[in-house]
Structure 1
Amino acid sequence: MDDPQWPRASAWLAGGGAARDDAPLLAVLGAPLSQASISPSQAHLTPDAIRRALHRYSTLAARAGGATVALDEIAVADLGDLDLSGLDSADAQALVAAGVAETEGTGLPRQPDLLVLLGGDNSITRPAMDAAVTALPDAGLLTLDAHHDVRDLAAGPSNGTPVRGLIEDGVPGEAVVQIGIGMFTNSPEYRRYCHDHGIAVVTAADARREGVGECVRRNLDSLAARCAELYVDLDVDVLDAAYAPGCPGARPGGLAPWELVDAAFVAGAHPKVVALDIVEVDAGADPDGRTVDVAAQCLLAAAAGLATRRR
């Protein structure tokens, strides 16, 4: 039974949010890609699953210290999903880049303050960032991920290659920060690649010790001091495996859901973050929906963060 005094997040997304011309604008775009996943995946089911999960959530974010943020403070546009079915990985990634680049021409009144992409596997990060920022050499990338994602590109793009691909495209290695790197989730060779290219690596243990939200805030501020625009990649397999049955790459020792949701809020609040993706959730392998729920909360937390940018 619907209660008009308990607005649902699903209705907020469908209804457009705030009508004020000066309200921050959030755009949401689905990128249902799973062809590039190293392990079998139905991540293409996830954008729709996230939207359906929003029916279980309200539009009021309760923050620490009693602070609240209402999502009706921002305008939102759901741009639907890109049609990536039947395409090979390379063609699908080209379409992701085109879809992100054409965001401004989709009936929006202006360029969104924040674009959130709903994956899909992690291979969408490279084309999405390529298209979302003005110039890759002037942009910074922050990932929350258990993995370095710097596998060799010889076999083509996959969900294990986006960071390496972006560096080859022009993102300076010194402008890449990886938070949440796990134990026994990477190889010595790929760790050397990160070291040789100046990528900053923060393990899950170190991020937890500092506080994940504070770690993300500090590193975004550091990147912002030398980068014109920032892109954030939320790979949900950064979570501990107990919390993320829908993430085939999740392992014990990862982050907790509330830590990732807090990171999404901090990213949404940062004025230089122009785009953010939520990836690596396989809705077909998530029997009780708990992993999709985390992804949905990350979307809402990023939106709540955006609402605080002009306060």
Structure 2
Amino acid sequence: MMFEDTYDWHGPSSDPNDEQIGDIVSPATLDTGDDFDAVLVGEPYDGAVIGRKGAREGPEAIRTALEAVKSHHFDAGPLSNLGDLGNVTFDADADVSVVQDAVTEATREVYTNAHFPVFLGGDNSLTVANVRPLLDRDASVGVVSFDAHLDCREPTDGPSSGTPYHQLFDEGLDRLAVVGARHFETSTAYAEFISEQGGVIFTAKEVGRDSDQTIDFALDSLTGCDYIFVSLDIDVLDETAAPGVSAPTPGGITTRELFSMLRRVASDPRVVGFEVVECAPPLDQDGRTVRAAARAIAHALSGVTERV
């Protein structure tokens, strides 16, 4: 089985007028995926994490938090018509490269049979599997990565959560824009690698100065790309807002900045997929990281809603 149905969606409110996202998500299959404006896909895996583990519990916790989020956005209107394909099934004890290959088979099917996939991670290593199917197309592909880190280490000893963008550039990725990177959270060699590949880096300080302008600059840097994938490593948020990650650090962006940028970028018709990675519920405090991840998905979907 490629997907396993693991979640029973329902809105927990007793108020009949209080529509929640749990009320508008229906089970989906590859045969019905095209009927929905967007489909959720769980990827419960943290076998490639360099630091603290726990992200394999992300998909279920994010779903639980998301189902209680109200469906209405003041500007975009209500979300609707969402499906859930369940979790991708694979051998989580296999080598990371084997897991990446196995998940890639599943994500190829998702892109073929669904309008807009939202991947619920899981660790950052599966960004490779979520972007690879786009690289198979005869088109230019770019990624907007909301992340405190650059994740472009050379996979000398095999893939990890720190190697996805080195792998993707090796496999044909055309452009990368990193948004929210932290000073003193990377090495000079990795910053130079991104620059050498034609990528651009926008720091958390730049986001704080003007988040709308920053995301516009990021999208401008991907001019010429036919398809754009959006990756959210939840550690892009300041550690006060997202303590439940592998590597929480101070100096990150705020939830309000993130939500605004996600809606803005997701409204671009070139954006064809979205992921949330590195949300680790066992490391969280008061569920704040999981709640931030769930609302990030809602805000991204509000941008997609304006396109459909």
TM-score (norm 1): 0.87
Corresponding residue for residue 161 of structure 2 = 159
Corresponding residue for residue 77 of structure 1 = 83
Change (3 A) 1:23 1:135: closer
1:220 corresponds to which letter in structure 2? L
Which runs of no fewer than 5 residues in structure 1 stay unpaired? 17-21, 106-110
Asked if residue 129 in structure 1 is aligned to residue 131 in structure 2, the reply is yes
Distance, in Å, in 1 between the alignment partners of 2:269 and 2:121 is 23
Corresponding residue for residue 217 of structure 1 = 216
2:216 corresponds to which letter in structure 1? R
Deviation of the 1:196 alpha carbon? 2.1
Corresponding residue for residue 149 of structure 1 = 151
Distance, in Å, in 1 between the alignment partners of 2:65 and 2:245 is 17
Corresponding residue for residue 120 of structure 1 = 122
Deviation of the 1:250 alpha carbon? 2.4
User: Is the Cα–Cα contact under 8 Å of residues 114 and 268 in structure 1 kept in the other structure?
Assistant: no
* Farther off after superposition, 119-128 or 202-211: 202-211
Distance, in Å, in 2 between the alignment partners of 1:280 and 1:81 is 16
Distance, in Å, in 2 between the alignment partners of 1:252 and 1:167 is 29
Distance, in Å, in 2 between the alignment partners of 1:270 and 1:202 is 19
Deviation of the 1:300 alpha carbon? 1.0
1:92 corresponds to which letter in structure 2? V
Deviation of the 1:68 alpha carbon? 4.4
Corresponding residue for residue 294 of structure 1 = 292
Corresponding residue for residue 108 of structure 1 = none
Corresponding residue for residue 229 of structure 1 = 227
| Structure showing the higher helix proportion among its residues | 1
User: Is the Cα–Cα contact under 8 Å of residues 27 and 84 in structure 2 kept in the other structure?
Assistant: no
SS at structure 2 position matched to 1:102: helix
Corresponding residue for residue 200 of structure 1 = 200
Corresponding residue for residue 138 of structure 1 = 140
**Which of 260, 274, 285 lines up with 2:283 in the alignment?**
285
Corresponding residue for residue 92 of structure 1 = 99
**Which runs of at least 4 in structure 1 moved beyond 6 Å after TM superposition?**
none
The aligned length equals 291
Deviations 1:21-73 (A, max 9, x none): x98710110111100000131101010001111232110013xxxx342102x
User: Is the Cα–Cα contact under 8 Å of residues 147 and 182 in structure 1 kept in the other structure?
Assistant: yes
Corresponding residue for residue 170 of structure 2 = 168
**Which of 21, 46, 50 lines up with 2:62 in the alignment?**
50
**Which of 1, 9, 33 lines up with 2:21 in the alignment?**
9
Aligned pairs (5 A) from 1:184-199:
184-199=184-199
